[in-house]
Structure 1
Amino acid sequence: MDLLGPIVEIILFFWAPISRHIGYFKDLNNNVETLKRKTEKLKRKHDDIQAEVDNAIPVGKRQKALVENWFTEVRNTENEVDSIRLELERRRICTYHWSRYTLGKRVVEKLEDIKKLNKKLKVKGVFHEVAESSRHPRVLEKQTSLPRGQQSTSERTLEEIWQCLNEERSGIIGICGMGGIGKTTLMKEINNRCTKTRDFDVVIWITVSKDLNLGLIQEEIGNRLGMKFDGNEDKGDKLFTRLKNLRYLLILDDLWESFSLVKVGIPKPDKQNRCKIAITTRSIEVCNKMGADKQIRVKTLTCEEARNLFYERCGDVVLSSEIRPVAEKVVEQCSGLPLAIKTVGQAMYGKDKKELWEHALWALKRSLPDEVPGMEPEVFLPLKFSYDCLENEESKLCFLYCSLFPEDYVINIDKLVRYWAMEEGFIENVNNLEEASNKVYKILERIKDACLLEQGWNYRYVKMHDLLRDLAIWITSPSSSSSSKGLKFLAKAGEGLVQPPEEKLWREMGRISLMRNKIEHLRITPDCPNLVSLFLNDNNQLRTIHSGFFEFMPNLQILDLSNTCIESLPASLSLLTNLRALILSGCRHLVEVSQLGKLEELQLLDLSGSGLKSLPQGIASLVKLRWLDLSFMRDLIPNIPWDMIFGLPSLEDLRMTGLKHVDGATFSKAATMTRLTSLRIQLSNLNGFIADDMFHRWFSGLRRFHVCVDYQESDASRGDPYRDIIISGCDNFPCGIEGLIKYATTLWLINCKGLTSLSQILGDSKNLIILDVLQFSGVECIIDWREVGDDAFQCLERLYLRGLPNLEKVFDGVASQPNTRLQNVRTIQLNDCHKLRCLFSSNMVEYLHQLQELFVWDCSEMEEIIEGDMLPHNSFPRLCFLSLGGLSKLVSICGQRLTFKSLEEMRVSSCPKLKKLPLFSSSILEIKGKIQGEREWWEGLEWEDENAKSLCSRIYEVSSS
């Protein structure tokens, strides 16, 4: 009996695992049913959480890493359960003991895994919020135009890249090919495709270019992630800490040399983090050194694709039976390169003579460039032909001139006017600077049409593709057979130089650009008999220039030393008797400019933002000076010799913003400048302003002006004006100010007093396009139609009224000729007008047939937007956006039911008494309609039409506020 107890314990000890293993075999059928039931329940939980994530992401959030890990485990478990099911079906739950045992064991293990996954959901706080805030969009879309066609080379390559991004084994992907073949375009398509998936937490696009700058790469990645770096911290460590918690796609566009990911702070992609890096490069060696797991060669277009693209660019001229055979040989010379095909095709657009096509074919076959690293013959040959086809020498030189700016530089066209147009003498061949500017715009448009330049941020900027810049540098290099006297350039912009090039390299050059380098001293005396333009600007460490530096530059016409640290100019500057443009803007350490009077040919002088405390001696001798910028010379002493400045006989463009001690009396004296066409001036006050007949004749003749009264502008606001007036802090408007305002196209009135109605100063404003009234405390009415001219406000497009606490009416009275009033208004915005009870009278509505956007916010007493119930038929026919907010007393938009036929979007916030919506066009709402507002407001709306309620419900969104 004494042994019975231990024996029982031994039996029980071994029985637990034995019974468990027997259960694998015996309970298989029951466990399979349990597994099926619990798997389906787990999937429902997964779908519910996924729905929460999907709802959070569109409002600027991103999925938490813990949630993503849980999703991954659930998917893996589901895959394994599916595998078990297939095995069971295949074996049909056979009686073969060992197979039944192993399957039973796998089923029990999966049941335990599901139990653990469910347990994770119950951990406090982990799944309370499935997404977290993300201030920056996951993907920034890129503008692109990929040649389409399901079986096209581009589409196949695109799909190959996309497939690699979804493969575990491909962490770093290299996209290789010659310049201009379409690598960047393909990656822009990939970038945009990521907006439609949730594969990555963030997509980061970095354009690297030739001059590899790891610090700049770190800054750009940091900016994309919303990070800020302190001066002493390790950027790499900080980036690594942030990126290791993100599933990122990093696109490195135009990489020319390899670099260490660890040094920059980029976690290497692997199967665990599932991150990806995509590189576009012209070098396979770069791909190898970067450790690319997959290399994709971007191929040239097939003959048929190339022919189709070429014919699309050439137009119908290729339909001619005489030209077509030659055209086919021309397109063959483009070697299937998209950029070459486009540029050559554009060059031949409309050429309907066979001889021109035969000449083109001859030129393409024989104009082989000299040796260029890599595959340049296939690229430079057709691109140079496009350059050769530019219609005149002016266009060619303008194209080449753009290569003097750094790579990836967005070129301000007005700089080209000041540099190249002045150098070329356009100023002498036209009546004024504005006509010269127009001519440059026309020439640039021709070059853009030939696909040799791209538009920059807007029409005032252009950008040069890096391949085309390489072409221009090759054309202008001394070793090129294409280069001739005057066309030899030394373009070393943005190359990180700390020393200037050797003197022997300067001698043959016609143009030299050393801008954006790190040169500190110019201790050389180069012999440059042919030098016409010299750019030393943005060398922000440049402090000293040798006294004889300019001694042997007899033909120099353009000199840019802006944004350098020079304190004075060398004496040899006075020898530049042919100098036409001297740019010293941003030279804040500059305290002395001597012997300026000897520069008798000078036509442009830019001293803006310099440290000069007085105007240079001899400025009165510059009788050919046409452009003078004195803006933001904050140290300039009060006793400015205005009579001397206003007496410059040839002056056409004068800029004086950011200066102290300029009053209305000084402004009145400016009327003596009879040749002036453009003026930018900032006045401290309007004291002494007199607008006599001579002033009106002079002011009305200005093509451009920007007049600012008592308003502090920053250096960043220095754009070229059109016809702008800003008046700030004015309590009493001087007599004659209305005669000044009537010529303006844009008027800002800020923090002013002294008027109850603006009709007194706006009575003849027939040119006004934008009117912005801000914090005008005394004004009760904007326009009394009885006090203004018949054609006033016929050009007005945008009206902004903000912070007008005593405003009771926007418009008063009846217009004598209403058909011309407000006929072009497209945008109206009201904010903080707390006495205003309604915005429009019913008879005003018919004159607003162009209104497209209406914003009314924080007008606490407003009860109706439109007063009255007798509205014209088809009111507001073009209104597409309506925003109402902070209108606590707003009861209705109008007394009668309105139908907005073009309304696409309506936003409502804090309008608790607004119970009815206007009627919408169902066709527009179904396509692109949107209604936003608080949930409580939406649920309290009153509906007269169930169909309207049903339609609006489909496009309603809860506002994020």
Structure 2
Amino acid sequence: MDLWEIILFFWAPISRHIGYFKDLNNNVETLKRKTKKLKRKHDEIQAEVEDAIPVGKRQKALVENWLTEVRNTENQVDSIRLELALRRICTHHSSRYTLGKRVVEKLEDIKKLNKKLKVKGVFHEVAESSRHPRVLEKQTSLPRGQQSTSGRTLEEIWQCLNEEKNGIIGICGMGGIGKTTLMKEINNRCTKTRDFDVVIWITVSKDLNLGLIQEEIGNRLGMKFDGNEDKGDKLFARLKNLRYLLILDDLWDSFSLVQVGIPKPDKQNRCKIAITSRSVTVCNAMGADKSIKVRALTPEEAWNLFSERCGDVVLSSEIRPVAEDVAKECSGLPLAIKTVGRAMCGKDKKEVWRNALRALKGASPEVPGMEREVFLPLKLSYDCLENDRIKSCFLYCSLFPEDYHIPIDGLVRYWAMEEGFIENVNNLEEASNKGHDIIERIKDACLLEDWSQISKFVRMHDLLRDLAIWITSSSSMEGSKFLVKAGEGLVQPPEENMWRGVVRISLIRNKIEHLKISPACPNLISLFLNENYQLRTIHSNFFELMPKLQILDLSSTGIESLPMSLLQLVNLRVLILSSCRDLVEVPPLGELKELQILDLSYSGLKNFPQGIESLVKLKRLDISETSFTAIPYTMIYGLTSLEEVSMMDLKENVDGATFSEAVNMKRLRSLRISLSSLNGFIAHDMFHRWFSGLTSFLVDVNKRFFRQLSNKQISICECDKFPCGIEGLTKHAFSLDLYKSKGLTSLSKFQGDLKSLRKLRVSECSGVECFIDWREVGDGAFQCLQRLDLYHLPNLEKVFDGGAPPPLNTSLQNLRIIRVFNCEKLSSLFSSSMVEQLHQLEELEIIQCIQMKEIIEGDKLPHNSFPKLRILELDRLPELESIFSQRFMFISLEDMKVISCPKLKKLPLFSSSIHEIKGVIEGEREWWEGLEWEDEKAKSLYTRIYKAS
């Protein structure tokens, strides 16, 4: 080797080391540039990976390794740059040399990473097929047709999932109603859309295990967890980059999404969570934005599903009638329909079908599969009720017949009295509140439901009733034993041996005519014989062997008398004889020392029962609509434990003087009473204080007796002079009804205190010429008034007079509904200056006012008049020419009726879209064609609801 070669051999490494020191600045700039370029490539590939994974693919291992190496290199480069920045002022040669060497090494690493990108085929496809597709389809069968109950519910769920405002949706209903089936359909529908990156189905079931939920979500996403890492953090990091639909099926308890690692759905991430549960409470606790109740199938849908499961055997003319009855006994519950249908498939003997029908009617699990596949799954909901008291209330509901309107007040009152928890509260009202709370908890568990829109009644699904009867039957090993034969058409009572040992017996709504037995019932607490309309006689010894009986209901029976053995019921707390029209005689009731509720309303008794004064524990007495020839009011008012008294529409009405003696009933909280007059009202403070303590009252003067509109109502009929002291009543009333009171000329002059009034009805008061004259009323006279009804007032010329209320007056600030009917002298309703007072008005109805020419008189309206008016009805107003002389707009109008207003030339404007407007415009074709329009658009909007008369 010559000298030059030797020099080159040693110079190369020397020059490289010199370069670490000398070329540091240039190499740093090069490193920055190449690192930036590498990061762009990293982000492009990462984006490809993220796009590919949610559609059922997984990241290639080589790609994952490359991305990891790039991130590590970026971190090391950042460390070099930070160290370089910290040592800028340092000129130490060794430090500069070390940094320079590290920079060159990182340049070599980047060169190698770029070289890997060029390897053939590795990065052409960054992901490959995965075992974790975007949606896992599920087997399901749903009743056909979008118009079916299931079809409508399915569409409602799908629509909710597509509404931005709904992040978490709850699907509630009793066990076996079809919640899971519906969500399987939703899951499968997601295969046809690209709405979600991934759909995750988790079956939670009764035993909540958060770790297992995390594992299942991780498996669904193709993730693996190391033993030491936080699963929640790792799941969150993955899910936050996905638009997911998480279906939590059969959830029994709420849990924290944060704890599991599930990002909460919101408008930004557009994720959704759908929960199926038997408990509304669970859905609410999970933060559901919307809860959907799954209903039972209709009879037609139930039959279609049942016949599909049974096969052609049900087409037989001999089998079909019985098969239809069997299907009805399944009460629209898909789980029961499928179970019974499978059990009856191929059975071609009508005797077998009749035996199945008998078993189903008797809540017997004889039909194969019923106990294991229907009763036991349903019983899980019962087992999960919070405590034995709530379970007891649920079981109590089975005492009523199928499809019975169960009155909540009655249910709560009798069950609470029997359970004895009334002793743990101060009064009947508190016991009722407590009972209502328990009913709500049972409803939240989907074991009871409201009866339509009538909030005072609930109903029990037939199969849940069968479950309760099964639990309380002799075949069950738990709970009290019931004998339930309600609504079964019995002509004779059950055999005496069936009565022994049971705690509650219900024979409601049968056709029993005579009780000729004397059963031994040592444990019997409740006996319901009501609605046996043909029941005439009861054996003289019938009650002798019922020492523990506490509840006895004989209402709506035809009994004429009660046997003396009734007096042996020394533990009786509740006796109901309501609507026993033929009842003429009862034993002296003074022996029933424990009696707390006595209902004699609508009975045929002529004489007041003897011994009432001895019932010192009596809390509730109802003698409404009775025909007692004499009523010992002093005796009644002397029962100091009374909390609720009802004396409506008695043959012998109470006058004001007699009523005033009630001031001594210091525990009284609820009073319903008819008075013959207002005379004798006490005006002193003691009376006022007593009356203010009532939480509910209905005072009816002269037998007007409207249905109760509020829990504090006064109805006064044909009273021309209102005595002093009436403010003791009216100052506490929420509803006031004045009927045929000729001496009334204006409410401004009414002596009563009306500041608490919420509803006011004035009808057939011929002396009323003006409802309110603002010059005669004080501030806030009607500040709580929400509804005003003015009916049949022939001389009413003005509703409001004296201009508008003073600026600071708070009267009418809460008025929401005005209804005016048949006020023939009324030419207008409001002055324009009054409109500002009515900013809460939501409904306005004017009907059959034959001289009404305009609704609002004047020439200028406040800005944004009637901002909340939703409903406007103008009906049979032959002289009506305009609503208001100037153009203005109803900004919240939703429902409008204009009927038979032939002189009206312009219909009101509204700003809502036509899809939000409903109602009807009705009139002659000639009138319609003569209407004046702002533009063709307005006309086209109204054309949709026009109907020619």
**Could you say whether these structures have the same fold, taking a TM-score greater than 0.5 normalized by the shorter chain as the test?**
yes
Work out whether residues 310 and 342 of structure 1, in 8 Å CA contact, stay in contact via their aligned partners in 2: no
Distance 2:388 2:551 in 1: 20
Q: Out of 659, 662, 671, which is 1:670 matched to?
A: 662
Work out whether residues 704 and 717 of structure 2, in 8 Å CA contact, stay in contact via their aligned partners in 1: no
What code does the residue aligned with 1:864 have? E
Q: Out of 385, 408, 414, which is 1:390 matched to?
A: 385
Q: What's the offset of the Cα at 1:447?
A: 0.6
Q: Is 1:343 equivalent to 2:343 in the alignment?
A: no
Distance 1:400 1:718, change over 3 A: farther
Work out whether residues 783 and 812 of structure 1, in 8 Å CA contact, stay in contact via their aligned partners in 2: yes
Distance 2:890 2:584 in 1: 63
Work out whether residues 882 and 904 of structure 2, in 8 Å CA contact, stay in contact via their aligned partners in 1: yes
Work out whether residues 856 and 883 of structure 1, in 8 Å CA contact, stay in contact via their aligned partners in 2: yes
Q: Is 1:628 equivalent to 2:621 in the alignment?
A: yes
Q: Out of 356, 367, 372, which is 1:373 matched to?
A: 367
Aligned to 2:425: 430
Distance 1:959 1:562 in 2: 52
Distance 1:884 1:762, change over 3 A: farther
- RMSD over equivalenced CA pairs, Å: 3.7
Aligned to 2:638: 647
Q: Out of 676, 691, 706, which is 2:698 matched to?
A: 706
Q: What's the offset of the Cα at 1:673?
A: 1.3
Q: What's the offset of the Cα at 1:523?
A: 1.7
Aligned to 1:525: 518
Distance 1:592 1:348, change over 3 A: same
Work out whether residues 554 and 577 of structure 1, in 8 Å CA contact, stay in contact via their aligned partners in 2: yes
Distance 2:586 2:216 in 1: 61
Q: What's the offset of the Cα at 1:873?
A: 0.2
Aligned to 2:576: 583
Q: What's the offset of the Cα at 1:303?
A: 9.5
Aligned to 1:69: none
Work out whether residues 608 and 629 of structure 1, in 8 Å CA contact, stay in contact via their aligned partners in 2: yes
Distance 1:629 1:853, change over 3 A: same
Q: What's the offset of the Cα at 1:604?
A: 0.1
Where do 5+ consecutive residues of structure 1 fail to align? Answer: 1-148, 163-183, 193-281, 283-296, 335-339, 353-368
Distance 1:506 1:719 in 2: 41
Distance 1:768 1:302, change over 3 A: closer
Q: Out of 806, 823, 830, which is 1:840 matched to?
A: 830
Q: What's the offset of the Cα at 1:391?
A: 0.6
Aligned to 1:418: 413
Distance 1:370 1:707, change over 3 A: closer
What code does the residue aligned with 1:659 have? L
Q: Is 1:798 equivalent to 2:790 in the alignment?
A: no
Distance 2:864 2:390 in 1: 51
Aligned to 2:805: 815
Distance 1:333 1:947 in 2: 55
What code does the residue aligned with 1:844 have? M
The total of aligned residue pairs comes to 655
Distance 2:682 2:278 in 1: 57
Per the alignment, in what secondary structure is the counterpart of residue 414 of structure 2?
A: helix
Q: What's the offset of the Cα at 1:585?
A: 0.6
Distance 1:521 1:740, change over 3 A: same
Per the alignment, in what secondary structure is the counterpart of residue 158 of structure 1?
A: coil
Aligned to 1:864: 854
Q: What's the offset of the Cα at 1:810?
A: 1.1
Q: What's the offset of the Cα at 1:755?
A: 2.0
Distance 1:154 1:681 in 2: 60
Distance 1:351 1:959, change over 3 A: closer
Work out whether residues 763 and 789 of structure 1, in 8 Å CA contact, stay in contact via their aligned partners in 2: no
Per the alignment, in what secondary structure is the counterpart of residue 143 of structure 2?
A: helix
Q: Is 1:686 equivalent to 2:684 in the alignment?
A: no
Aligned to 2:532: 539
Aligned to 2:777: 788
Distance 1:445 1:311 in 2: 30
Q: Out of 467, 482, 486, which is 2:478 matched to?
A: 482
Q: What's the offset of the Cα at 1:616?
A: 0.6
Q: Out of 905, 913, 917, which is 1:915 matched to?
A: 905
What code does the residue aligned with 1:673 have? M
Q: What's the offset of the Cα at 1:390?
A: 0.6
Aligned to 1:179: none
Distance 1:370 1:893, change over 3 A: closer
Per the alignment, in what secondary structure is the counterpart of residue 509 of structure 1?
A: coil
After TM superposition, the structure 1 stretch with the greater mean CA deviation from structure 2, 878-887 or 318-327, is 318-327
Aligned ranges for residues 769-784 of structure 1 at < 5 Å? 769-784=758-773
What code does the residue aligned with 1:442 have? D
Aligned to 2:239: none
Distance 2:896 2:834 in 1: 22
**Deviation per CA, 1:786-816, whole angstroms, max 9, x where unpaired?**
3334222222111111111111221223424
After TM superposition, the structure 1 stretch with the greater mean CA deviation from structure 2, 561-570 or 392-401, is 561-570
Distance 2:898 2:564 in 1: 68
Distance 2:877 2:767 in 1: 22
Where do 5+ consecutive residues of structure 2 fail to align? Answer: 1-134, 157-175, 189-198, 221-246, 253-274, 288-362
Distance 1:417 1:345 in 2: 21
Q: What's the offset of the Cα at 1:427?
A: 2.2
Work out whether residues 533 and 558 of structure 1, in 8 Å CA contact, stay in contact via their aligned partners in 2: yes
Aligned to 1:957: 946
Aligned to 1:695: 687
Q: What's the offset of the Cα at 1:189?
A: 8.1
Per the alignment, in what secondary structure is the counterpart of residue 159 of structure 1?
A: coil
Per the alignment, in what secondary structure is the counterpart of residue 729 of structure 2?
A: helix
Work out whether residues 206 and 251 of structure 2, in 8 Å CA contact, stay in contact via their aligned partners in 1: no
Distance 1:346 1:742 in 2: 40
Work out whether residues 698 and 708 of structure 2, in 8 Å CA contact, stay in contact via their aligned partners in 1: no
What code does the residue aligned with 1:940 have? G
Distance 1:587 1:332, change over 3 A: closer
What code does the residue aligned with 1:375 have? G
Aligned to 1:552: 545
Q: Is 1:728 equivalent to 2:608 in the alignment?
A: no
What code does the residue aligned with 1:750 have? Y
Work out whether residues 831 and 857 of structure 2, in 8 Å CA contact, stay in contact via their aligned partners in 1: yes
Work out whether residues 481 and 503 of structure 2, in 8 Å CA contact, stay in contact via their aligned partners in 1: yes
* Aligned sequence identity (%): 58
Distance 1:584 1:630, change over 3 A: same
Q: Out of 592, 599, 613, which is 1:599 matched to?
A: 592
Per the alignment, in what secondary structure is the counterpart of residue 644 of structure 1?
A: helix
Distance 1:322 1:817 in 2: 66
Work out whether residues 250 and 276 of structure 2, in 8 Å CA contact, stay in contact via their aligned partners in 1: no
Work out whether residues 489 and 511 of structure 1, in 8 Å CA contact, stay in contact via their aligned partners in 2: yes
Aligned to 1:301: 181
Per the alignment, in what secondary structure is the counterpart of residue 810 of structure 1?
A: strand
Distance 1:312 1:434 in 2: 45
Q: What's the offset of the Cα at 1:185?
A: 4.2
Q: What's the offset of the Cα at 1:351?
A: 10
Work out whether residues 797 and 825 of structure 1, in 8 Å CA contact, stay in contact via their aligned partners in 2: yes
Work out whether residues 540 and 564 of structure 1, in 8 Å CA contact, stay in contact via their aligned partners in 2: yes
Q: Is 1:442 equivalent to 2:332 in the alignment?
A: no
Per the alignment, in what secondary structure is the counterpart of residue 321 of structure 1?
A: helix
Aligned to 2:462: 466
Aligned ranges for residues 73-222 of structure 1 at < 5 Å? 156-159=142-145, 185-186=149-150
Distance 2:815 2:504 in 1: 49
Q: Out of 744, 747, 755, which is 1:755 matched to?
A: 744
Per the alignment, in what secondary structure is the counterpart of residue 750 of structure 2?
A: helix
Q: Out of 498, 502, 523, which is 1:505 matched to?
A: 498
Per the alignment, in what secondary structure is the counterpart of residue 144 of structure 2?
A: helix
Q: What's the offset of the Cα at 1:380?
A: 1.4
Distance 1:302 1:955 in 2: 36
**Deviation per CA, 1:847-894, whole angstroms, max 9, x where unpaired?**
111212211222233222112112110001111222223333333211
Distance 1:307 1:865, change over 3 A: closer
Q: What's the offset of the Cα at 1:735?
A: 2.1
Distance 1:529 1:712 in 2: 48
Q: What's the offset of the Cα at 1:313?
A: 11
